[in-house]
Amino acid sequence: MTQMYNKVTDEVVKKLVAICGDQYVTTSEPLRHSYMARGIMGNEAVLPECIVRPANAEEVSKILVLANENLSPVTPAAGGLSGGFALPAIEPGGIYMDMTRMDKMTVDTENRVMVVEPGVKSGDAWRIFKTKYPDWAPPIPDGAPPAATVLGDAIERGFSLVTGVYGPQADMIMGMEVVLPTGEIFHTGSWALPGAKPFYRWGIGPNPDGLFLGSQGSMGIITKCAIKMVPHPHYKTVVAYGGETWDDIIRPAWEISKHEMGIAERTVMVQGGNYELVMTRWPKENVPVDYEFYKKIGVDQKWMNYECWAWSKEELDETLQGIDKIYKDYEVREKRTLPQQDLHPKQVASRLKKPNKIAIPYSLWQAGFLFITWYCPWLESGEMMEEYCTAMENYGFPPTMWVASIDHARQAIVMPILCYDSTEPGIFDKIREFNLETTKSFLKKGWINYRPDTFVHAPETFSKAKEYYKMLVKFRKVLDPNLILHPGRLAIPWESVSDEPSPLQE
């Protein structure tokens, strides 16, 4: 039977006020609506009943104890820029815990670690580093809006401005302060030893931090995170090469990225796409949709960008020459033509700007957009993108596709961007059908959804990985016996979401 939750009563609101103070608790309807987002990353979102803004881990703990007593669901949110994912997915919506008041940041250049609270925004971290620590860079998401947080992105396992070298954001984490759903507070990594610095992730025993990373706020609330910062050399540029097929961009990028301890170390971000990615950044009625127009303005059908950072001009030149040589050799060997693009200095500058804001205009095309993200082995990404583009066209969406290398092209993050008219009747059902069809096919190929949604990716994946799912349900029930935390977001357990058949059923 579906898990039952209670509504947030006036009495609960009074107790929340007693914990956080009057000005940090609201049930105002317009304010609750201001947190709502359907789109960007997820379409399932329910209006929360109450917003609370704690100041520290102790207040977070007290709120969770209260939520357990009242059986109210609690949804944690940092910047809220993962769209629907930072909102409740079930009714009643319960307590929305806006963490933005907790915004302290400390920087330790000796141990090369920064400590952030959940409210530290990427734009602020970048600005502070630029003026106070110019030789270091905070690991912020490359393209997320400046209000997205460092911590939100790290616990989501997102992709950063140096992801091509350093891997997913969660790999950068050195320790966390966690408030469990039952209200207990603990630290992971070497931080678990009182007085110790967060210098060693694997800490003083088996490290449970993976349970919280990618859990979409359903296992515990992170109130602090120690994360590696990276060196920031200032000889930088971006080069791009075009092609006609996905293999034209995927294969040379693989050769460049696997040149580890060589040019690949200075190629911090490798990302590509197709011409539709350019076209869908404008309102639909304002731009031609056929390729001929884009060809004339020098946009290839597909292309790959390489953002390079180096300590000297010589190092940068050597990296660019290394990339070019791999392309030239590839052209001869494979009998392909893969032109280097003639980038305008403004194009280079906008790519190098952080956070780069390039992804924001997709909403212009038709008012709605949705990023769907998958991981697969790098060399299989061409096949995934081909299949995705065909499916997008079949469903009437422009085949807008983006791909990036994670950790020297060990993995690809493949992201179709669904541009749609959110006022079109039935559009959300159509998106769900599209998601279901592609998900079923991709899971058979062993590809993995990066930010599973509650009603398609999670149940489809877990019904194929039953043993793993059973373990997740066990862990969750230990950590959160009343299942109050962001219930249903990852469908762990299924009865916290729906009374439809569980993914465990045959």
Ligand X SMILES: Cc1cc2nc3c(=O)[nH]c(=O)nc-3n(C[C@H](O)[C@H](O)[C@H](O)COP(=O)(O)OP(=O)(O)OC[C@H]3O[C@@H](n4cnc5c(N)ncnc54)[C@H](O)[C@@H]3O)c2cc1C
Binding site for ligand X (CB under 6 A): 40, 75-82, 85-86, 99, 118, 141-145, 148-149, 152-153, 155-156, 158-159, 216-217, 221-222, 359-360, 486
The total of other beta-carbon atoms located within 10 Å of residue 484's CB is 25
Shortest reach from residue 206's CB to ligand X, in Å: 21
- What backbone torsions phi and psi does residue 28 show, to the nearest 5 degrees? -55, 130
Q: How far is CA 292 from the centre of its chain?
A: 34
Between 143 and 243, name the residue whose CB sits nearer to ligand X: 143
Q: Classify each residue of 347-357 as buried b or exposed e, where b means 16 or more C-beta atoms within 10 Å of its C-beta.
A: ebeebeebbbe
Burial class of residue 100, CB neighbours in 10 A (0-12, 13-18, 19+)? middle
Between 340 and 363, name the residue whose CB sits nearer to ligand X: 363
* Radius of gyration of the CA atoms of the chain, in A: 23
Shortest reach from residue 275's CB to ligand X, in Å: 20
Dist. CA 61–CA 54, nearest whole Å: 10
Between 37 and 320, name the residue whose CB sits nearer to ligand X: 37
Tokens standing for 209?
């931090």
Dist. CA 313–CA 11, nearest whole Å: 65
Between 85 and 462, name the residue whose CB sits nearer to ligand X: 85
Between 85 and 129, name the residue whose CB sits nearer to ligand X: 85
Between 156 and 460, name the residue whose CB sits nearer to ligand X: 156
Between 40 and 279, name the residue whose CB sits nearer to ligand X: 40
Between 144 and 240, name the residue whose CB sits nearer to ligand X: 144
Shortest reach from residue 501's CB to ligand X, in Å: 25
Between 163 and 327, name the residue whose CB sits nearer to ligand X: 163
Cβ proximity of 227 and 493 under 8 Å: no
Shortest reach from residue 112's CB to ligand X, in Å: 21
Dist. CA 116–CA 124, nearest whole Å: 12
Between 305 and 338, name the residue whose CB sits nearer to ligand X: 305
Tokens standing for 446?
């062993």
Look up residue 210 and give its amino acid: G
Between 77 and 174, name the residue whose CB sits nearer to ligand X: 77
Cβ proximity of 408 and 165 under 8 Å: yes
For residue 80, give the DSSP letter: -
Tokens standing for 171?
């790999």
Dist. CA 256–CA 165, nearest whole Å: 12
Shortest reach from residue 280's CB to ligand X, in Å: 13
Dist. CA 142–CA 436, nearest whole Å: 29
Between 155 and 401, name the residue whose CB sits nearer to ligand X: 155
Shortest reach from residue 371's CB to ligand X, in Å: 7
The total of other beta-carbon atoms located within 10 Å of residue 413's CB is 21
Q: Is 305 helix (H, G, I), strand (E, B) or coil?
A: strand
The total of other beta-carbon atoms located within 10 Å of residue 311's CB is 12
Shortest reach from residue 114's CB to ligand X, in Å: 15
Shortest reach from residue 313's CB to ligand X, in Å: 28
Between 162 and 338, name the residue whose CB sits nearer to ligand X: 162
Shortest reach from residue 334's CB to ligand X, in Å: 31
Q: Is 418 helix (H, G, I), strand (E, B) or coil?
A: strand
Q: Classify each residue of 443-453 as buried b or exposed e, where b means 16 or more C-beta atoms within 10 Å of its C-beta.
A: beeebebbbbb
Shortest reach from residue 244's CB to ligand X, in Å: 26
Q: Is 395 helix (H, G, I), strand (E, B) or coil?
A: coil
Shortest reach from residue 159's CB to ligand X, in Å: 4
206: Cα within 13 Å, side-chain hemisphere: 3
Q: Classify each residue of 14-32 as buried b or exposed e, where b means 16 or more C-beta atoms within 10 Å of its C-beta.
A: ebbeebbeeebbbeeeeeb
Shortest reach from residue 413's CB to ligand X, in Å: 9
Cβ proximity of 185 and 177 under 8 Å: yes
Shortest reach from residue 336's CB to ligand X, in Å: 29
Cβ proximity of 63 and 97 under 8 Å: yes
